[in-house]
Chain A
Amino acid sequence: MKSYELVVHPVENEADTRKADVIGCLDSHTVVGFERELQSVVDSGANVVILNLESLSYISSAGISALMGLTHRLRKSEGELYLLRPTEKVRRVFRTLGFTTIFRIVDEEAEVGSTPRS
C-alpha cells in the first residue's frame, strides 16, 4: 500500500511562512488526508507555503488538483505556494499539463519571494 507523509517545519523569522516536506505518493486515496493537512497549515496563519517535493515519488491528477486549489487560495490573499525541487518525473507531469507557467517551481529556498510569477 502506497502512502504519503507531510512533515511541517517552522520557518524562523517568517510568521506567515510554512515549509513542509511531501514524502511518498499523492493519489486519489492519499490526497484526502493531504488536503486536510494542507488546510490546517493554512488555517494556522500561513500565507506563503513551501512544499518540498524532492521525495514525492508520484502525483496523480487529484494531487495536482489539490496543489492548484491551494495556489488559488493563497493568491487570493496575496500569498503564494512554492514547489521546491520536484523530481524529473513530477516536473514532466507539470510540463505535460502546461502548469509550469502556473505553479511557482523553485530549485532553492532562496528563490522564494524573489522570482516574479510568469
Chain B
Amino acid sequence: MAWILLALLIVVLAGGGYLYWKKVQAEEKLRADLWVLQREEKALFDFLNQFGQRMTSGTDTGPAMDLIVSFAQEATTADAAGLFVRDKGGRTLRARVVSGLFPPFHEVTSDRLFSKRKYVAEMVKREVIEVGEGVIGRVAVTGRPLLVADASKDERIPKPDISGLAVKDLLAVPLNVRDENLGVLVLVNKREGPPFNEADESLITAVARQASVTLDLIRLHRDKQERQRLEQELELARTFQALLLPRRTPSYPNIRLAGAYRPALEIGGDYYDFIPIDDRYLGIAVGDVAGKGVPGALIMAAVRAALRAEARLSLSPREVLQRVNTVAREDTKDSVFITMTYGVLDTETGRFRFCRAGHEPVICCPGDGKGIVSYLPEGIALGIVEGETFGITEEQEIDLSSERTAILYTDGIVEAMNARSEEYGEMRFHRQVQQHASGSPEELLEAILGDVGKFVRDRDQHDDITIVVINWTGEAKSQQAPQTDETGVSTTA
C-alpha cells in the first residue's frame, strides 16, 4: 500500500515537474519572442528617430541610404550590406552604398583585384544588375523579401572563389513604395547567433518600408527643386536672349526690313542681327546654336560679339565668317556648332553678298505669283573645322533690285511640328512666301508665323523660329527668268 502511495507520489511529482518544465520552457520562448519584438520595436524606434532627425531637410538621398545600410547591418550583426538602387531608366540596379566585405554577385575572373577591401567595394559598385537578373534583380521584380539561411545549398547564390567572400547566409529585402520598387537592401553573413531568420526579415522589412517612404519623399522634393531650377534657368536664358536681338530695325530709302524671333518653350539658340557698317552697307545675320538654354545663349552672345567686331572690319562676308569661325573654334567644345547666314547689303544698289555657314538656304521671291529661288552656296557650320577646311565656304550675291524679297530663316520654321508629328515643311513655307511676297515685310512675317501657328495648333513649339525679310522698294530691274525644277523651286548653288 505504502509503495503504491510512493509510486503515485513519484508520478505526481514527475508530472508536476514535467508540467513545470514545460511552463518554464514556454515562458522562455515567450521571453525570447518578447525580446525579439522589443528589439525590433527599439531598433525601429531608434532608426526612425535618427532617420527623422537627419532627414528633415535636404535633397540628397546619400545620407539616408548610408544610414539605412549601417543601421540594418548593426541591427542584424551582418558582416556586409549593400543597398542597390534602380537607375533612372528603372531597368538596371547599381550599388549605391556598400559596407563590409560585400561579395560581387557577378562572375569574377581574377582575384588579384580583390586583395584589398576597397577594391571589392569599388568592384561591387561598378556592377550593373539587370532587373530580374540573379537574386538581387529577382527581389526587385517580385517585391518580396528573400531569406537564404544556408547559401551553400542554394544554387542562386554565387560562390566566388576568393577567401573571405563566401556567402553563408543572406537576406535581401525590397524597397517598395506604393506599387513601385526603388531598389533592394541586401545583408550577408550574420555574425552572431543563428543564421538570418524570420525575426531579422521582419525587422529589416519594417526598416525598408520606412526608408522607402523617406527616399521617395527626398526624390520628389529633389525633382521639384530641379524643376524650379530649370524654370529659373529658362527665364534667365529668355531675358538674356532678348538682349541679343537688335533693339531697332534700321530703315533706308529703298529697303524695308523686318525680323521676328519666336522662342520655343525650351529655349533654343536662335538669333538675328542688323549691324550697320556705315551709312551705305548693312550687315545682316541669322544664326542657330546647336545647344539650348543658358549655354546656348552664352555661345550665341560670344559669336554675336565676334561678328559685330569683325563685321566693321571687312565688307566680305566670307572673310568675316572665317574670323568668327576661328573664335568659335577656340571657344566651344568639339561637338558644339553654330550655323549662320551672314551677308552685307548695299542699301543703295540692293546687292546682297552673303555666305552660308551650314545654315538654311536664303530664299528669294519677286512676288506677283512668281516662283521661289533657293540659294544654297557651299558652306560649313562655325566652330567645327579649322580655317583651311572652312575655306570651302563660298560667297554668293543676290541682286534685290530684281529679286525684290530675300528671306533668311532658321530650321525651326520648316521643322515646326503638329500634334500628329508632321512637319510644317519647306513646300508649305514656300507657298506662304509666294502668296504674300508682294505685301510689306511685316505682312509677310505675320502671314508666315500665322500659318505656322495654324498648322502647329496646340502642340508646344519645340525649337526657336527666326525670320528676317529684306525687301527692295526701289526701282525694279528687269528680271532674268529663273530655272525652276518640277516643284517650282529653283536652286542656285
Residues of A within 8 A of B (CB): 2, 27-28, 33, 60-62, 64-66, 68-69, 72-73, 96-99, 101-102
Contact = CB atoms under 8 A, between A and B. Distances in A.
Contacts of A61: 288, 290, 337, 339, 411
A59 to B, nearest CB: 11
A96 B358 contact: yes
A64 B339 CA distance: 12
A61 B385 CA distance: 16
Chief secondary structure at chain B's binding surface = loop
Interface string B267-293: 000000000000000000000101110
Given A27-B462, A28-B266, A65-B336, A98 B290 contact: no
Contact of A98 (B266, B292, B335, B358): B358
Contacts of A66: 335
Contact of B384 (A27, A96, A102): A102
Interface string B314-337: 000000000000000000011111
B384 A68 contact: yes
Contact of B378 (A68, A69, A98): A98
Do most interface residues of chain A lie in helix, strand or loop, or is the interface mixed?
helix
A27 B268 CA distance: 12
Indicate the member of B333, B337, B393 with the most A CB atoms within 10 Å. Answer: B337
Given A27-B462, A64-B290, A65-B290, A72 B378 contact: no
Contacts of B487: none
Interface in B436-474: 462-463
24 contacts: A27-B462, A60-B415, A60-B463, A61-B290, A62-B290, A62-B291, A65-B291, A65-B335, A68-B334, A68-B335, A68-B337, A68-B384, A69-B333, A69-B335, A72-B334, A73-B334, A96-B359, A98-B378, A98-B379, A98-B380, A98-B392, A99-B381, A99-B384, A101-B392
B169 interface: no
Given A69-B333, A97-B380, 20 more contacts: A2-B421, A28-B292, A33-B89, A60-B463, A61-B290, A61-B339, A64-B290, A66-B335, A68-B334, A69-B334, A97-B337, A98-B357, A98-B358, A98-B380, A98-B381, A99-B358, A99-B381, A101-B380, A102-B384, A102-B385
B40 interface: no
Nearest to A67: B335
A33 to B, nearest CB: 8
Interface of B: 89, 266, 288, 290-292, 333-337, 339, 357-361, 376, 378-381, 384-385, 389, 392-393, 411, 415, 421, 462-463
Residue from the set A33, A62, A97 with the largest chain B CB neighbour count within 10 Å:
A97
A101 B359 CA distance: 16
Contacts of A101: 380, 389, 392
A33 B290 CA distance: 17
Contacts of B290: 61-62, 64-65
A97 to B, nearest CB: 4
A102 B462 CA distance: 27
Contacts of B463: 60
Contacts of A69: 333-335
Nearest to B128: A40
A96 B360 contact: yes
Contacts of B288: 61
A101 to B, nearest CB: 7
B395 to A, nearest CB: 14
Contacts of A98: 357-358, 378-381, 392-393
